[in-house]
Amino acid sequence: MKDFAGYELSGASARSHAALELGMHEFRCYIGDPVATVERALADSPELVMGHVLKAYLYLMGTEPGGLPVARDAHATAAALPANERETRHRQAIGHLTEGRWRAAGRALEDLTVEYPRDALALQAGHQIDFFTGDSRMLRDRIARALPAWSKGVPGYHAVLGMHAFGLEETGDYLHAEAQGRLSVELEPRDGWGQHAVAHVMEMQGRRREGIAWMRANTDNWARDSFFAVHNWWHVALFHLGLDEVGEVLALFGGPVYGKASNIVLEMIDASALLWRLHLRGVNVGNRWEAVARNWETVAAAGNYAFNDMHAMMAFVGAGRARAADAVLEAQRAAMDAAGDNAQFTREVGHPATRAIKAFGDGDYAETVRLLRPIRHYAHRFGGSHAQRDLLDLTLIEAATRSGQDRLAAALRAERASARCEASPAAVRSARTGPLSAAA
């Protein structure tokens, strides 16, 4: 039996094939419950290799410490089943991921999609790995290589466009990125990643009113039954914060961003990052830090991904949890001696960035400046987007100001203003209506 892209599926029945395709669609759009869907597929066909593959990726892409054992079990089950070449390559990539070899997994999936460019799951998993490793060029180029094999008639085309849009945005091609992102959402209004790619463009160009309008015009599409909704609401909050609408930001935090006090790592990152931006402005956020810090304490000592560590530290600083803050630094010291790529992520960027956050909380603003200045130009090496890592620049500027380094602070503000200038009206119109090829 073949999947919708025309690739062979080992161990599939008609029923499990349908469930697998639905799970893939849910994952591409970040909607529904793809874990439950793939479990239905596996209940029908326990030898469905790509079912176990999808399950493993679902548990790996959230950087949840608790997801690793499940992913390892899924990998072991898949490894014991008969598989074709494409499926074997997926198993190899998952094996690398479960051992913390992010870059090797990304390369394995890169090679896979050279041979099988319509494998949407390989593209999506690879795209996420490029995000977690901070490889902006591959965020763009991994997808660009495969685009000629795609067209509107192939299921999942919208997701490929959305991923391409995000890669283009992260490499500074805002005009092309916005066009691809808008087309992605036009083809599939529920594509949360395409929606988010356009939001990133508007954030980087300082188009805050337009960003709010873009996001609020179709919230039912990207927020309903979506496990990516919190991050997209976070973008809405950033637009309001850029307009100094602090009351609206606090309302969003208490509502769709963190009203449910999630213990999902990616959602705790958004909560920490939003409160820290308010903290840098001197906004009194009351006891809002407490719920975030409490949930971080259950996972912060895992030391499995440096980008997470820094955001956990923000919560512990904000809530005044000194012991938890020290535990994060101790876990990072252990991580730097461990195997896997996170040792390098932590050593190069994560540890100094996390120490800088703690120093800021301790009121040692000169130390914050000392720690952040050397790493800010290669901070992408520990993952995240430009919009997320902007927090490091904001912290540096505020620390320079508070430590009396006024000329440095002024220089940094001038740099920031130059990098985030408003897009011209003509460029915005061109992005919306220009004759750009979808596969360009």
- Give the relative orientation of helices 229-242 and 192-204 as an angle to the nearest 10 degrees: 20
H, E, C per residue of 300-367: HHHCCCHHHHHHHHHHHHHHCCHHHHHHHHHHHHHHHCCCCCHHHHHHHHHHHHHHHHHHHHCCCHHH
Tokens of 435: 């004759």
* pLDDT tens, residue by residue, 257-307: 999 999 999 999 999 999 999 999 999 999 999 999 999 999 999 999 999
Nearest by Cα to 373 from 388, 401, 395: 395
What digits encode the pLDDT tens for the residues 389-418?
999 999 999 999 999 999 999 999 999 888
Q: From CA 187, how far away is CA 294, in angstroms rounded?
A: 41
| Largest Cα span, the chain | 68
**Domains, in order of start, for the chain:** 14-134 (1.25.40.10)
Count of residues making up the chain: 440
Upper half-sphere CA count for residue 227 (Cβ side, 13 Å): 17
pTM above 0.85?
Answer: yes
Which residues make beta-bridge pairs with 226? Answer: 31
What are residue 2's DSSP bridge partners?
8
**One digit per residue, pLDDT tens: the chain, 440 residues?**
899 999 999 999 999 999 999 999 999 999 999 999 999 999 999 999 999 999 999 999 999 999 999 999 999 999 999 999 999 999 999 999 999 999 999 999 999 999 999 999 999 999 999 999 999 999 999 999 999 999 998 999 999 999 999 999 999 999 999 999 999 999 999 999 999 999 999 999 999 999 999 999 999 999 999 999 999 999 999 999 999 999 999 999 999 999 999 999 999 999 999 999 999 999 999 999 999 999 999 999 999 999 999 999 999 999 999 999 999 999 999 999 999 999 999 999 999 999 999 999 999 999 999 999 999 999 999 999 999 999 999 999 999 999 999 999 999 999 988 887 644 444 434 334 433 333 33
